[in-house]
Structure 1
Amino acid sequence: MKIVNIIPIFSTDPDARVGHKSEDHSFLGYKTHLALSDERIITAAIITSGEKSDGNYLPDLIGKTKNNGVEIEAVIGDTAYSRKENIIYANKEKFKLVSKLHPLITNGTRKDDKFIYNKDAGRYMCPAGHLSKNDGHIKKRDKNRNTRIKFYWDIEKCKKCPIREGCYTEGAKTKSYSLTIKSKEHSEHESFQHSEEFKELARSRYKIEAKNSELKNRHGYNKAHAAGLLGMQIQGATSIFAVNIKRIIKLINDKK
């Protein structure tokens, strides 16, 4: 639900900021966060500097869309929109959020590290076979972040462990192992994510990608034509108006 507008890296634009398309692909410029109806008409848009997080703007996009008279049954977006507060918001507003959870949430951050939970002892066991000193210290986080549970080991055993390399850091005063406890909201959303309904709805995501491409390739929206956020907002308003008018005319002609 975003379009990235690239500005030359030596731009003197005071409002342009560095954002990231991926881990190794950054840009200097702006983002346009879009909401698109099933008929491919843009129902809401928010233009920000490039560093802003996509997921923050879901409630605003939904609010603008509703104010424009559109009823919302489902929202389709990329992983950025599946943050916990958005899942809670979707449940409250009674629409289906078709956005995949981040792999770190579904798969966890621990994988093949040979730390094993011993259900009989109720504690974690390290690769050397030593049990944790505690049965898990739960750390409550704020309402938008999952709770973490932490296990601690006897540091004296770690110092003498024959396989301590890569596990124990020399000079460390503690050795711990943390896990994230999946929230109720994330667990329920993960179940929905694996449903046929989710997969069927997700097939419509190509529409937003096609609209992004139309704006950038046919209307010059891949480049800011004026400096400043206001200039980008004016460019966005005129470009979105143009593509919406084209789409509305096509829909009218198709009905004739």
Structure 2
Amino acid sequence: VIDPSSLTKFRKLRLQDQNLLDLLIEKTIAIAMDLDLIETGTIIVDATHTQSRYNLKKPQEILQDQSRKLRKTIYSVNESMKEQFPKKNTKDDLEAELKYCKELIATIEQVPGLSANPKIGESLRLLEETVADDIEQVRCSSDADARTGHKTVDTSFFGYKTHLAMSVERLVTAAIVTTGEKSDGKLLQSLIEKSCAAGIPVNTVIGDTAYSEKTNLQYAEDNHICLISKLNPNITDGHRKKEDEFDFNKDAGMYVCKAGQMAIRKARQGKKGVGTNQKDTYYFDIERCKRCPLREGCYKEGAKSKTYSVSIKSTEHAIQRD
């Protein structure tokens, strides 16, 4: 049986080398290909969250840690100082902790020669600097590389993301580790390229809506890859609620509002050839809107115009939607 210390050393020291991780995956895929275990050029992509083993600390927790270390260092030199120190703060409150730290610093500075000790002086300066910082600067973690990422609008995590590609036979073909705030879709091209380098003839990619951004659609088309990824509902359905939608009269080529009024003209907005999509804006007769019985929630009092805009989907988005 492999000694646990060997595995620990390998994980901590060797796996920090990104190239080594790629090399291990490539070797795994090469063996699988030789044994005919991979039959298709289809890969599945996704990202998984990894919590940092250190939690993001509150400012008062940072101060508590530093003041504790300072007291401990002083006790190793002069244990009798316990009786002279102010009473510790027991509240989970930043202002109360700041007040305690200031009192602690003042007490230490009143004792001749105490801060001259190198260890005590260093801890004392660190606490003084932290107290002087603003609240945002105090917010930190023992894990300086981790970042806050968001699973949904309401939930977040502190740590990293592991972006993975695997074959339909469930063999990992590529892996990229990033900080927690990185977007899943931005890593698609790298995952495909690493999978190809590992020996997978990628022709189909399956992923969720995060991978259907425009640059990925263009990349897939340029490289003759079928990207099976739904478009974001905001692109296919738009931001507008169903009850706020107007009807389109295909014969007249104009939109008709809930009260039956047809737009009097339309104009295309947005620059041609620029990354952002253009939109058609339909204009309604403002005088009729002012008198309309259904104007509440539709026409804003005092507005000089009433318009209804529809985004024009890019060719890539239209193809992907179909």
Q: In the alignment, is residue 35 of structure 1 matched against residue 80 of structure 2? A: no
CA shift, 1:54, in A, is 0.9
CA distance in 1 between counterparts of 2:302 and 2:175 reads: 52
For 2:178, the aligned partner's letter is T
Give the match for residue 130 of structure 2.
none
For 1:29, the aligned partner's letter is G
Q: In the alignment, is residue 78 of structure 1 matched against residue 123 of structure 2? A: no
Mapping 1:81-230, distance limit 5 Å? 81-110=211-240, 111-140=242-271, 144-191=275-322
CA RMSD between the two structures: 2.4
CA distance in 1 between counterparts of 2:212 and 2:260 reads: 38
Give the match for residue 194 of structure 2.
64
CA distance in 2 between counterparts of 1:51 and 1:171 reads: 43
Give the match for residue 148 of structure 2.
18
CA distance in 1 between counterparts of 2:264 and 2:145 reads: 52
Q: Secondary structure at the match of 2:159?
A: strand
Give the match for residue 199 of structure 1.
none
Distance change in 2, residues 1:114/1:75 (3 Å): closer
CA distance in 1 between counterparts of 2:48 and 2:200 reads: 22
Q: Secondary structure at the match of 1:60?
A: helix
CA distance in 1 between counterparts of 2:274 and 2:155 reads: 31
Provide, for residues 103-129 of structure 1, a one-character-per-residue CA deviation record: whole Å limited to 9, x for no partner.
233334443425122233322122222
Distance change in 2, residues 1:22/1:46 (3 Å): same
CA distance in 1 between counterparts of 2:157 and 2:283 reads: 42
With the length of structure 2 as denominator, give the TM-score of the two structures.
0.53
Distance change in 2, residues 1:114/1:76 (3 Å): closer
Distance change in 2, residues 1:171/1:19 (3 Å): farther
CA shift, 1:72, in A, is 0.6
For 2:278, the aligned partner's letter is T
Q: Secondary structure at the match of 1:135?
A: strand
8 Å contact kept, 1:152–1:176: yes
CA shift, 1:6, in A, is 2.4
8 Å contact kept, 1:84–1:144: no
With the length of structure 1 as denominator, give the TM-score of the two structures.
0.65
CA shift, 1:59, in A, is 0.9
**Where in structure 1 are there 5+ consecutive unaligned residues?**
192-256
Provide, for residues 206-253 of structure 1, a one-character-per-residue CA deviation record: whole Å limited to 9, x for no partner.
xxxxxxxxxxxxxxxxxxxxxxxxxxxxxxxxxxxxxxxxxxxxxxxx
8 Å contact kept, 1:155–1:174: yes
- Select the structure of larger CA radius of gyration: 2
8 Å contact kept, 1:155–1:175: yes
For 2:222, the aligned partner's letter is K
Give the match for residue 49 of structure 2.
4
Percentage identity across paired residues of the two chains: 50
CA shift, 1:68, in A, is 2.1
CA shift, 1:140, in A, is 3.9
Q: Secondary structure at the match of 2:165?
A: strand
Provide, for residues 172-229 of structure 1, a one-character-per-residue CA deviation record: whole Å limited to 9, x for no partner.
34322111223322232233xxxxxxxxxxxxxxxxxxxxxxxxxxxxxxxxxxxxxx
Distance change in 2, residues 1:144/1:3 (3 Å): farther
Q: Secondary structure at the match of 1:22?
A: coil
8 Å contact kept, 1:116–1:124: yes
CA shift, 1:141, in A, is 6.5
